[in-house]
Structure 1
């Protein structure tokens, strides 16, 4: 009976915070902060491996966007990693340290007020792998715009998409460059800022085939770079670790529940709250913290969220589906050159 009352109280606080309570008004910043702190305090009474806290934005301002109902139907064929000998995997691994000359691995992107996690995390992994597998750690920052605005097979833009088709699009159509919102970097800088209210949702931008006026290219096709292979990784802890260890970060999706929004540190395990939606992120390593195995992940909610934009999540249990839908690919350094006789 006591546990039931506690859950009801938590539910009431969460509903008020997200604006889903009956007749609940738009909260002032101070009221929102008080509710966030109260919500985090209640979660911390339930957690053992992680700590909740108040992030820079109210919980309801963070967007996800993986279409959970289409994960199975859009999953790519499994890739086979051929190894000449058995790989001795370390107890902990961090791609940022393994490939220090690839600064994109350390970058935390921000999807803003758009359910584009499926696109922004894919573009982040593409960028990392372009550098990792090049001869001289070549830098090319893949933008999110083409996947978000031009890939019809990927989904519904800011209203959600799927991982597999995004990687297929990279191989078949290529993806242009782009930097953060308002950066003027690349062909198409990210077009969407953070939410200003809990009900905000940016419209999906229209597909355009010309770069921004200040960029050194006009035609998008002269800027795009391609993938050579796109594939999924088996739902196996060792196989996922081998893929990251040999080829670089991977993209993953999982079910996001209300408590995840309040993550600040430690190894996340879902303890309370309703299902929000599916979410896509980048896995860049693994480790063990106080006896608990974890995946090291980069989120796309900005550096002010979580642990400087990063989080750890339980490893080896397919917790919330984190190991079920791993996607990635390998770059093609010659296709663009063959199309335009362009020297890198």
Structure 2
């Protein structure tokens, strides 16, 4: 039989759910289409032409774009492994504001991604790049308590919630294409906000049902890999926050303050609990000139440095960190 006629569960859901990413093949096509688009060529030109010497020693997106209140938001994913959707909804809200110079101020809904993008993931985790592509193709509605689709998962289960809580909440994952009753500004379909192209910054593998692991093109394909950090900084400085995925061990869950780095390093791979996705909003150096990213986590404000953390990624880079974004 022709391999292409076999339909996996994910593809079946996508095929018969016109609002999911339509099929795995379409997903790959989109990634390559975005990579070769005129908008991407223009994006690369801007990144290339901006002088690295003009990048500040330390940077905070909240100060660069004070008109964008969403950059300050610290979400709490509660009893759902939705970090990928929460981080993407945050990046999308920030970039909507930044790209419109503050005229569009929205809090976009992670629940729209978790519930209605079958290909993106579930309460047991998912892929931020797929969620960013969903933002391009299907749009994301408003969230927050008083938006179209509020976040339904309970946050009383701890900081962060234990993994067994996620299983209980899968039943809440319903793609109901209606806004909550108190939200009367728009209907669901007219409440959507869209991006133009989505992309990964550094090369990575995309695991796809029926296709296996597919290497996908990245922004860094246009540059020398020696300047990866410089290009990541330019992306953040010129266009706003982006997502970062990295492996997490137990000690990260108990982070209180300072610059996080995995410790001890030995047996690190055996100790990985899961991959986690966060929103990067800045960078800096400590007194020893150690570089760190400043990131917003999704464990609420009582975790870490008021919900944020600083991370030294040198050790983690060997595991293939993923940085992703989209242009409005």
Normalised TM-score (structure 1): 0.69
The 5-angstrom pairing of residues 1-344 of structure 1 reads 76=31, 80-83=43-46, 84-87=49-52, 88-155=54-121, 157-179=122-144, 183=145, 185-196=146-157, 198=162, 199-201=164-166, 202-203=169-170, 204-217=172-185, 219-234=187-202, 236-272=228-264, 274-291=271-288, 292-315=290-313, 317=314, 319=316, 324-331=321-328
Cα pair distance change 1:300/1:193, threshold 3 Å: same
Cα pair distance change 1:323/1:288, threshold 3 Å: farther
Deviation at 1:105, TM superposition (A): 0.4
- C-alpha distance after superposition, 1:285-313 (max 9, x if no partner): 10001222100000000000001000000
Deviation at 1:116, TM superposition (A): 0.1
Q: Which has the larger radius of gyration?
A: 1
Q: Take 1:81 and 1:308, find their aligned partners in 2: how far apart are those partners?
A: 35
Q: Take 2:231 and 2:320, find their aligned partners in 1: how far apart are those partners?
A: 10
Q: Take 1:322 and 1:300, find their aligned partners in 2: how far apart are those partners?
A: 22
Residue pair 2:70, 2:106 contacting (<8 A) in 1 also = no
Cα pair distance change 1:284/1:135, threshold 3 Å: closer
Normalised TM-score (structure 2): 0.72
Structure 1 residue ranges without an equivalent (≥5): 1-72, 332-344
Structure 2 residue ranges without an equivalent (≥5): 1-26, 203-219, 221-227
Q: Take 2:102 and 2:323, find their aligned partners in 1: how far apart are those partners?
A: 27
Residue pair 1:143, 1:177 contacting (<8 A) in 2 also = yes
Cα pair distance change 1:113/1:168, threshold 3 Å: same
Deviation at 1:152, TM superposition (A): 1.1
Residue pair 2:77, 2:155 contacting (<8 A) in 1 also = yes
Q: Take 1:76 and 1:130, find their aligned partners in 2: how far apart are those partners?
A: 21
Cα pair distance change 1:230/1:123, threshold 3 Å: same
Deviation at 1:219, TM superposition (A): 2.4
Superposition CA RMSD, Å: 2.2
Cα pair distance change 1:282/1:144, threshold 3 Å: same
- C-alpha distance after superposition, 1:81-109 (max 9, x if no partner): 32244241111000000000101101100
Residue pair 1:102, 1:137 contacting (<8 A) in 2 also = no
- C-alpha distance after superposition, 1:92-143 (max 9, x if no partner): 0000000001011011001001000000000000000000010444201111
Q: Which moved more, 1:118-127 or 1:210-219?
A: 210-219
